[in-house]
Structures are given as structure tokens and as C-alpha cells.
Homo-oligomer: A and B are copies of this chain.
Amino acid sequence: MIRIILAEDQAMVRGALVTLLGLEDDIEVVGEAASGPEAVAVARKTEPDVALLDVEMPGGDGITAAEEIRRVLPGCRVVILTTFGRPGYLRRAMEAGAAAFLVKDSPARELAAAVRRVRAGERVIDPGLAAAALSAGPNPLSGRERDVLAAAADGSTIADIALRLHLSEGTVRNYLSSAIGKTRTRNRVEAVRHAQAQGWL
């Protein structure tokens, strides 16, 4: 019997996935969570063999949760589940010690299969995605550039960002400019979109 927990914010898909996995003879869902921190707590309590974690969750993403779970329960394998197959996500997931990386538009049966293979010590990664992640190279943005770009994502003006990050407006402009350069885009908005698509934020 493989004991697993599942973290996913949308209750309806969480419920559906839980029943789906519950139908498998060799899998037992011993816990559920709706956020990253909750997942860590549940993992602590239930000590599962495998943790399925969604990346996109409000209040702490799945990758951060993965790191913590790996630290607290080194024996627990982590499967990262995501809507978006972004290269940067994959990279970060691997660095966080994940054993598998699944995108939600692969068929449903893959999920149980991945759980079994991971339990058996294998790693499960989509080959095309792996290639994309490698060819894309690592995140070229410096820490501060990331901060500023992230702060710009919601349509904030330079003045807003400067205030929020305690920087001068000129500095914010400089960071944005260099981020635009590194993403090889034409303006803030494109830079933000590109960085998000690469999973750099």
C-alpha cells in the first residue's frame, strides 16, 4: 500500500483526484491540503510515502512546500503537479528535490503511474519539457531585478515600486531596463509576461 497526500487549492479537482487515486488498489490517500504550508503540516502528521503537490497555490507555492517536506521527511518522495509546463518551474522543482514533474494536461492515468514509479525509486519527467528547461538555460535575472519585475506585474507605476521596495525611482527604472534587456523584450509588460512564462518569477 502506497500512502500519499495531495495538495491542490481547487477543492473540486482535489476531490476528483483523490477519488481517482483512491480507486487504485495499491494507493491510499491519507491526507489532503489546500495550500503549501498546510501540505507541510499534513505531511508531518501523516508521514506519507509520496506527496503530490500542485505548484500554483495561494499562500505558499508547492515548490517551497516540497523543499520543506524533503527536509522534514527525507524518505518521502515528492511529485510536483502543475498547470503550466514552465522551464523554470521544472528547474526549481528539481533543485527542491522533487522526484517527478507532471503537467495537468497529460492523461489522468499518468498520475497513478507516476506515484508507483516514484515509489519504486524512479524519476518521472516529461522528456520534451526537460529538453526545453535545459535549452532555455538558467534564470538570468539578478535577485533585485526579479523583485522589481515581480512588483511591476500588477500594473504598479515606478513610483509605487520604489516606495514598496524602498528604492529610488531611478534605480527602479534601471532594474526594469536591464530586465527588459535580459528578456529581450520591448517593455515592462512583455518582460513580465516572458519572465512568468519561463517560470522566473
Residue numbers of A with Cβ under 8 A of B are: 9-17, 19-20, 23, 83, 102, 104-111, 154-155, 157, 185-190, 192-193
Contact = CB atoms under 8 A, between A and B. Distances in A.
B108 A187 contact: no
16 contacts: A10-B104, A11-B105, A11-B106, A11-B108, A12-B105, A12-B111, A14-B108, A15-B108, A19-B19, A19-B23, A19-B108, A154-B189, A154-B190, A155-B193, A157-B187, A189-B189
Contacts of A14: 108
A15 to B, nearest CB: 3
Contacts of A10: 83, 104-105
B105 A9 contact: yes
Given A12-B104, A12-B108, A16-B16, 20 more contacts: A9-B105, A11-B105, A11-B107, A11-B108, A12-B102, A12-B105, A12-B110, A12-B111, A13-B17, A13-B104, A14-B108, A15-B20, A16-B17, A16-B19, A19-B19, A19-B20, A20-B20, A155-B190, A155-B192, A188-B189
Nearest to A194: B155
B12 A106 contact: yes
Given A157-B186, A185-B155, A107 B15 contact: yes
Contacts of A192: 155
Contacts of A110: 12
Nearest to A185: B155
Contacts of A11: 104-108
